[in-house]
Amino acid sequence: MEKLIGILTGGGDCPGLNPAIRGCVMRAKDHGTNCVGIQDGWRGLVNAETVPLGVADVFDIINKGGTILGTSRTNPFKKDDEAKKCAENFKKLGLDALVAMGGEDTLGVAARLYKEFKLPVVGVPKTMDNDLSATDFTFGYDTAVTIAVDAAERMRDTGRSHRRIMVLEVMGRHAGWVALTTAIASAADWVCVPEEPVDIERMCSHLKKAHTLKKTALVIVSEAITIPGEKIGKEALDDFGHMLLKERGVGDRIAEIIEKETRIETRVSVIGHIQRGGPPTIFDRILGSRMGVTAADMVESKKFGQMAALRGNDCVAVSLEEATAKLKTVPREWLRFAEIFFK
């Protein structure tokens, strides 16, 4: 009898998910296995909501942003019985395996469903934040940074014309990867990341110098930074207990501080969800495709409780538990590397 894989995408969407879905469906076909789409992340498994997912549904989605399956930040372990429902619906839908594509939260649920309910689950790492341990890169990140670099360079053009300092706030949650690489790749003059408190004095004195030299200066700010002297208020939390960062406005506050300290006119832009839409870059199309194919192969060889990962240039299987144990944040060496270019 032909086997059936259920595929779901959870958490924030990102470019590369559709290539990954496509890779999994197409490779599963080679193994004589069919796939079905589970809609809107874990919510879809709780409610047994599926969509057909054959080769004809995926052959031309490699260049499409978002996820054709929909997504949500539902945590079935938050409400009584929802995790049990996932296990029951797994059976009811006639599934032989589940491929969960997500970040630390979605894959954390996958790890628990494997451990506590013995569900045959395989994970696929995705997140524009690039903060998942056990894999060198996650798809979505390259596209997000590519878009942010384009925005940063446009800001510098207008900033130079008006002799202003420009501040770009980017996403990235509790890891500064997006901000850091955007700053390096756009030749920015400073970067603020959540891994280190902002050194206002050093930043402003450097920006004054940079502005004298270039008639503009560019600062990249990550959304979850701590500004010295500011207390983090009681912000709303999602199902996984993460702060909803959408209303923090750290970019605005950094811009105000810079303007006050340097007395140079300063403007700010927040790129937000623009970073998460649009066609995936070629890197993300290929990485997504490879991860999807690897996941289908892992199902075939029964590597359950594991996640497809990129190590060097190889696709390997790693334990879901290891992958979700702790976030991959930016190490000091990378921050010092970025500073080489702040001249």
Least distance from ligand F6P to the Cβ atom of residue 106, Å: 10
Applying CB under 6 A, among 173, 253, 285, 290 the residue interacting with ligand F6P is 173
Paired tokens of 201: 């004095």
Burial of 160 (0-12, 13-18, 19+ CB in 10 A): middle
What are the tokens at 99?
Answer: 């491929």
**Does residue 27 bind ligand F6P (CB under 6 A)?**
no
Task: Determine the interface stretch with ligand F6P among 127-135, 151-159, 316-324, 332-340 (rule: CB under 6 A).
Answer: 127-135
> Is position 168 an interface residue for ligand F6P (rule: CB under 6 A)?
no
129 counts as catalytic: yes
129 binds ligand F6P (CB under 6 A): yes
| Binding flag, residue 246, ligand F6P (CB under 6 A) | yes
Choose between 50 and 127: whose C-beta lies nearer to ligand F6P.
127
For 277, other C-beta atoms within 10 Å of its C-beta total 14
Do 129 and 181 contact (CB within 8 A), yes or no?
no
Count of helices and strands (H, E) across the chain? 12, 11
Q: Does 36 bind ligand F6P (CB under 6 A)?
A: no
Shortest Å distance, C-beta 260 to ligand F6P: 27
* Residue 134 or 145 with smaller CB distance to ligand F6P: 145
E strand intervals along the chain? 3-9, 33-38, 50-52, 97-102, 121-125, 165-170, 190-192, 217-222, 266-270, 306-311, 314-319
**H/E element holding 201?**
helix 200-214
Q: Which of 129, 131, 142, 297 is catalytic?
A: 129
Q: In what order do the strands lie in the sheet with 190-192?
A: 190-192, 217-222, 165-170, 266-270
Stretch that binds ligand F6P, among 166-174, 200-208, 298-306, 313-321 (CB under 6 A): 166-174
Instruction: Give whichever of 216 and 275 is closer to ligand F6P, judged by the CB atom.
Output: 275
Chain residues binding ligand F6P by CB under 6 A are 12, 103, 127-129, 171-173, 223, 245-246, 276
